[in-house]
Structure 1
Amino acid sequence: MQQLEDRFGRRFHYLRLSITDACNFKCEYCLPDGYKPEGKPRHLQLDELRRVMTAFAHCGTRKIRITGGEPSLRKDFEQVIEAAANTPLIETVATTTNGYRLAEHAAEWQRRGLQQINVSADSLDGRDFERITGDSRFDLVMRGIDRALELDYRRVKINAVLLKGHNADQLPLFLNYIRDRKVDIRFIELMETGLHHDYFKQHHLAGAVIQQQLLQQGWQLDPADKDAGPALNYSHPDYAGRIGLIMPYAKDFCASCNRLRVSSTGKLHLCLFGEAGIELRDLLGSDNHIPELQQRLHRALISKHETHHLHDGDAGATPHLASIGG
């Protein structure tokens, strides 16, 4: 079947597949009061996840990122990794995790087929890490990153949300960390969500501030890969790692969009800050429905907008990032 493409010529080869909205951290900008389920969770079961992966693969998807919440809270997380790795046509299997299980399980996850790991760590200072996340396991998370590097994962990244008043002055700490480590630090601008308007106003920091500091210190913008997403990546000859910037408030940020999202309850989200989701679950009960599922995906893209509306203060229907996997 034809590759997924919208009205603006953007092609979508990257699926962010959430398998739970639960998380055991209490990050200030996401779940400051901790995870509070609304009734009994109805997360997609393993067979349903397999059908989502298969349908997307037949529509041109080549990369699957398994997300949450915290995806490793699922008891069948290893089976989900294996299912993604064994899906025909899928070339890359990645996950984003808070890293609390990484040190113990990195080898097993790799054996199951995981190739890339993003670890959310908004500070490399243990005290600030605990203040932001509400969790004291900073050392355990960092050991997990070291373990992933020992195992030579294809790519290891640290995701850090830029937060005025927390980590805005910690660029030297991050740079020192990647001087001899082949790790990508990914700075992500804080994005407004439905429940966190006041927090956004207090803590938002433009990525351009970090960008200017990097350029002043001799960092160079890497050429964009053909299938690159919206991140701007910078390299420096004196550092083993790289710095990436995700700046959703920058001009033309959405022009290179190449990813779609499916929530843990089976809804397709065309944008992180868009509609309430397009139902897919009614087609996930049988392999016989996969062709119809593919057709629904293609039809859905007709309604994808050219850009989000964050600039207008419209965060869409997303209550917090854990709800659809960030």
Structure 2
Amino acid sequence: MITDALIDPFGRKIDYLRISVTDKCDFRCTYCMDEDVTFLSREQVLSLEEIVHVAKTFIRMGTKHIRITGGEPLVRKNVLWALEQIANTEGLEELTITTNGSQLYKMAQSLYDIGVSRINISLDTLKADRFFALTRKDKFQQVIKGIEAASKLPFKRLKINSVMMKNHNDDELYDLTKFALDHNMDISFIEEMPLGVITDHNRAETYLSSDDVIDALSQYYTLTPSDIKTGGPTRYYHVAGSSHKVGVISPHSHNFCDTCNRVRLTVEGRLLLCLGNEHSKDLKSVIRSSMQNDALDSSKELENAIIEALALKPQQHHFNLDEAPQILRFMSATGG
């Protein structure tokens, strides 16, 4: 096993891979994509076998944490097979999945059984009418049913992720936090990221900083900064009287690039080195060549391509809400 191969030009050890298994989603969240969006064709995306091959290669090179994302990952046919293959690869410490929750009511038990450690569930409101306005889909009760199902299982950790927008859902900070804590879950509040051109709202006008979130919640809870790290960019706060935590993800107000340990594999096989930049390397041809020539247990060609790609990883991203988006890909195409 290669253990020190994944080091970027700034000395950061890359031990966390996020893999998008599909760009498709059964929601159309207003901050994530336009209502009318064209998805990739089947020929353009990696097969599940190819995705598993890349995951195993990264694990062999020292990756400890893998998060499966989309789009909505649970809408991809046979995704449970791929998740089980990855979860049971020697050397991986944790397999996490990020989901909109729409499929959890029927898949939560299977996810636990095959070895998924943690689930992050996107939920931005507890109001059914607002949920429809934000997601453009009438699936609120289906998502709540899924959260209830997952919360009854002994996952290592469950968390709600909420993108907070001023004058859209910022009046629900307390309600969402209480909902998460009551269900023995953590919650993270996320500053909206300027990825893709949207028409539903002006991101500068709806921007809500993480500091504003913590100030608002401090009226209800005693919050103490925590030094707990889970591999991602979340800054956590202990909640007095609870074993669960409130977190914030702050790409604008508290740039987290100095500790970035992540890269992303898009569903079409592009290794994205930074969420907020276009630095990337297309690995699709290398992935397919390595599978044909080396079999699953040996892939020097792919390993070398990954190492070369890390040289492209920038030191940090630059988001500016007062300018038109410089990153034209939607979050659904990036992988959360």
Conserved in 2, the CA contact under 8 Å of 1:181 and 1:241? no
Counterpart position of 2:332: 322
Counterpart position of 1:237: 240
- Identity, in percent, stands at 33
Deviations 1:67-95 (A, max 9, x none): 10011111111111111112221121111
Return 5+ residue gaps in structure 1 as ranges: none
Q: Does 1:305 align with 2:277?
A: no
Matched letter for residue 252 of structure 2: Y
With normalisation by structure 1, the TM-score equals: 0.93
Conserved in 2, the CA contact under 8 Å of 1:25 and 1:34? no
Matched letter for residue 225 of structure 2: L
User: Alpha carbons of 1:167 and 1:268: their partners in 2 closer, same or farther (altered >3 Å)?
Assistant: same
Report how many residues are paired: 325
Deviation at 1:164, TM superposition (A): 1.4
Q: Does 1:255 align with 2:258?
A: yes
Counterpart position of 1:272: 275
Deviations 1:152-189 (A, max 9, x none): 11111111111112111211212321343321111110
Deviation at 1:215, TM superposition (A): 4.1
Deviation at 1:314, TM superposition (A): 7.6
Deviations 1:167-213 (A, max 9, x none): 11211212321343321111110011231386312322112101222
SS of 2:171's equivalent?
Answer: coil
Return 5+ residue gaps in structure 2 as ranges: none
Of residues 213, 217, 224, the one that matches 1:220 is 224
Matched letter for residue 44 of structure 2: R
Aligned-partner Cα distance in 2 for 1:91–1:224: 17
- State which drifts further: 6-15 or 310-319: 310-319
Counterpart position of 1:168: 170
Matched letter for residue 120 of structure 2: N
Conserved in 1, the CA contact under 8 Å of 2:118 and 2:156? yes
With normalisation by structure 2, the TM-score equals: 0.90
Conserved in 2, the CA contact under 8 Å of 1:162 and 1:207? no
Conserved in 2, the CA contact under 8 Å of 1:180 and 1:240? no
SS of 1:310's equivalent?
Answer: coil
Aligned-partner Cα distance in 2 for 1:88–1:280: 23
Counterpart position of 2:249: 246
Aligned-partner Cα distance in 2 for 1:205–1:136: 26
Aligned-partner Cα distance in 1 for 2:81–2:285: 23
User: Alpha carbons of 1:127 and 1:213: their partners in 2 closer, same or farther (altered >3 Å)?
Assistant: same
